[in-house]
Amino acid sequence: MLATFIRVIILYTLVLITMRLMGKREIGQLQPFELAISIMIADLASVPMADIGIPIVSGIVPILGLLTLHLLISFINLKSIKAREIICGKPSILIYRGKINEKALKKERFTVNELEERLRGNNISTVADVEYAILETSGQITVIPKPDKRGTIPADFDIMPEYEGIPYDLVVDGKVMNQNLKIIRERLPVAKKTNGKIQN
């Protein structure tokens, strides 16, 4: 029982470190090869975790091998556009200049209902409001509304808002964030005070 508990801690720690080394992007927006590696890592960790008869090294070595493979593929993606297209694919335009691209929908095996569902997830109630809808390689849909349906911003009225800087938490869960206080102290001499607010 104790051996199983220790193996769980070791493998969990290893998987956690591996996912951190893979980078923050992998958590939210998985590319196909990243999803495959994540599933395989979970599977490899679960087997020696449950069966004491299997050496723990049998789980650790393959996980480290997959991490190495991931880092290698990520490096290739950074260096080669062609390799990136082969490994990750290319974005598809599902709505082009306000019209649904039936050919792209069929290619990506997307129904109009699924497209409308994704648009609603982007706070778009109707296809008529969309100029472009792009299916990204991560599976997410980027929506560009028509010009008359976009929200207004200060630049539309030739207004230049004052720079506000970045907020820092000074107290979190009852603890003083000394690092943030240090950053504020360092920037205070060069900060400008406008309308009672300190701006960096």
- Tens digit of each residue's pLDDT (9 = 90 or more) over 131-147: 999 998 878 899 999 98
The last residue of one of the domains, among 35, 57, 86, is: 86
Domain hosting 120: range is 92-149
Give Dmax over CA atoms of the chain in angstroms. Answer: 70
Q: Which helix H or strand E contains 129, and what residues bound it?
A: none
Q: Indicate whether 77 and 133 sit together in one domain.
A: no
CA-CA distance, 13 to 35, in Å (whole number)? 20
CA-CA distance, 62 to 60, in Å (whole number)? 6
β-pairing, 99-100 vs 92-96, is antiparallel
Mean pLDDT over 168-184 rounds to: 87
Tokens standing for 97?
């200049």
CA-CA distance, 146 to 129, in Å (whole number)? 6
pLDDT of 191 higher than 50: no
pLDDT in tens, 17-49: 777 776 655 444 667 777 778 888 888 888 887
Q: Indicate whether 80 and 107 sit together in one domain.
A: no
Q: Indicate whether 114 and 180 sit together in one domain.
A: no
Question: What DSSP state is assigned to residue 99?
Answer: E
